[in-house]
Amino acid sequence: MAVKAPWLGFLLLVSLWGLSTPALLLRRLREHIQKFQESSSLHPGFGLGHGPGAVPKQGWLEQPLDPFNASDRRTFLQRYWVNDQHRTGQDVPVFLHIGGEGSLGPGSVMAGHPAELAPAWGALVISLEHRFYGLSMPAGDLDLALLRYLSSRHALADVAYARQALSSLLNVSSSSPWICFGGSYAGSLATWARLKFPHLVFAAVASSAPLSAVVDFSAYNQVVARSLTQAAIGGSLECLAATSTAFKEVERLLRAGRAAQAVLREELGACGSLDRTEDQAELLGALQALVGGTVQYDGQAGAPLSVRQLCGLLLGKWGNRSRSTPYLGLRRAVQIILRSMGQKCLSFSRAETVAQLSNTKPQVSGVGDRQWLYQTCTEFGFYVTCEGLQCPFSQLPALPFQLELCEQVFGLSPASVAQAVAQTNSYYGGQSPGATQVLFVNGDTDPWHVLSVTQDLGPSEPAVLIPSASHCFDMAPVRPSDSPSLRLGRQKIFQQLQGWLKDVKKSQS
């Protein structure tokens, strides 16, 4: 039986954006990229070229819903995937790919990191879907009584349980080193799994992990601005200036009365009316998300536009140059992205967003918008804003507007969000977690790298910062078009693992 359409969960390109229209849009973008990779993987020659015998196995673990209360006997089923095609024995390393805020498919153990690293050590590859996402859903409505059991701490307890349960289920020797991998939020989980359970987890590779929680993530757009000027990915100072000009024009039209708004709506392909101030803010946020998303996923298979293409449009390098303006370029970019994501129009209704996020019926497919919003409100913040002179966009939507969602959807005040974020940082240590044997990998054009570790914190907490690489790019399957710096980055990951695993062999013999 051949692997049909593996859902390549290695691409944990989740937006992580504080949940509002911009985030929903980024989620669509991520889904689009995943679908693309899914269909590409059906073509021979893509990725690993795994043989017909290589079928990942899906399994389910019965996990306690409340791992911190032994008298609570409720459980849920957590999905995992196993790829044992490279496994050469019982005491080989186990590469545990931790899932984040989305579902995990067979691709999580078949393609990209860590699967591509496994043959060198004959490693067993396992992935574990995060509770409350994908099919690993506890029974019941997603009301506040149930969401109490959703947090990074619960997810880490699941990792510890799974580590023990899977060891006996899959005959893993007690001397096997377990190495955690993860990208984005799951990269933070990989780090924290090593930090909190050093007796269970031998080492971790954390890709694009935002270790520091932050309420007001204005640095996101500062990196977006900087990346738009990077020549290596097709950016320039002119491109940044054109972005800013285009946004000024949108804001001008929004303020220029009903008739101008109607024209703007028509020209941007917006789904609804622009009468309400809150919808105007969401529209500006959505446009920012399209530009930010282009930077975040730059160069990756399936991304609708690269930074080079976006800058080309904004600067009128394609089409009729004499008639082009940055605003027309932005319009064209919006059309291209929406079309490639299969969206008829650009959606930005605040009321619709709130209604959608307030729905407590579990959605089996997709990222789990409501669940992730809950985690941002109760743990991480990550609300992307545009502040300071470096930000090329509109200052809307501002932070209070975004925080309002926690209040509207969950009744959580801005003060409680701020307190929760501070607690997260004190519990995990933010950007100085104090763990050992963790490798931090980031791309310097990725807006998230500023919340991660990009310089060695010492010999046992090394960092690799890959020039011109976007979010979690190191985890994607190897492609002929990969840049030399990306190849070098992957090589450094390999060498670091080699160093750590050599020490295991030494201490065993």
Q: Which residues bind ligand NAG (CB under 6 A)?
A: 69, 71-72, 171, 320, 322-323
Q: Minimum distance from CB of 198 to ligand NAG (Å)?
A: 27
Residue 258 CA to residue 150 CA, distance in Å, equals: 44
Smallest gap from residue 309 Cβ to ligand NAG (A): 20
Closest approach, Cβ 82 to ligand NAG, in A, equals: 11
**Contact status, residue 392 vs residue 222, Cβ threshold 8 Å:** no
Q: Report, in Å, the least distance between residue 94 CB and ligand NAG.
A: 14
Q: Which of 325, 301, 316, 299 is nearest to 445 (CA)?
A: 299
Q: What are the C-alpha distances in Å from 503 to residues 37, 179, 203?
A: 36, 14, 12
Query: How many angstroms separate the most distant Cα atoms in the chain?
Result: 79
Among 294, 216, 283, 291, CA closest to 250: 283
446 Cβ contact list (under 8 Å, min separation 6): 208, 223, 295, 296, 469, 470, 471, 472, 473
Q: How far apart are CA 130 and CA 189, in angstroms?
A: 10
Shortest reach from residue 166's CB to ligand NAG, in Å: 11
Contacts of 105 (CB under 8 A, 6+ apart): 6, 7, 8, 9, 81
Smallest gap from residue 72 Cβ to ligand NAG (A): 4
**What percent of the chain is helix, strand and coil (3-state, nearest 5)?**
45, 10, 45
Distance CA 127, CA 359 (A): 29
Question: Could you tell me the smallest distance in angstroms from the CB atom of residue 170 to ligand NAG?
Answer: 7
The token duo for 5 is 């359409």
Q: Which is nearer to ligand NAG, 6 or 138 (CB)?
A: 138
Tokens representing 132 are 């409350």
- The CA distance from 23 to 366, in Å, is 13
Q: How far is the CB of 244 from ligand NAG (least distance, A)?
A: 24
Q: How far apart are the first and last CA of the chain?
A: 40
Q: Which of 299, 315, 322, 320 is nearest to 236 (CA)?
A: 315
For the record, the structure tokens of 185 come out as 């939020």
Closer CB to ligand NAG, 148 or 258, in the complex:
148
The rounded distance, in Å, linking the Cα atoms of 348 and 346 is 7
Smallest distance, ligand NAG to C-beta of residue 176, A: 13
Nearer to ligand NAG, 69 or 277 (CB): 69
| Secondary structure of residue 358 in the 3-state scheme | helix
Catalytic annotation, residues: 184, 446, 471
**Nearest Cα residue to 486 out of 508, 462, 464, 505:** 464
Q: Between residues 74 and 487, which has the closer beta carbon with respect to ligand NAG?
A: 74
21: amino acid identity, one letter: T
CB 9 within 8 A of CB 127: yes
Q: Which of 325, 382, 361 is nearest to 26 (CA)?
A: 382
| C-beta of 71 vs 426, nearer to ligand NAG | 71
The length of the chain, given as a count of residues: 509
Of 71 and 174, nearer to ligand NAG (C-beta) is 71
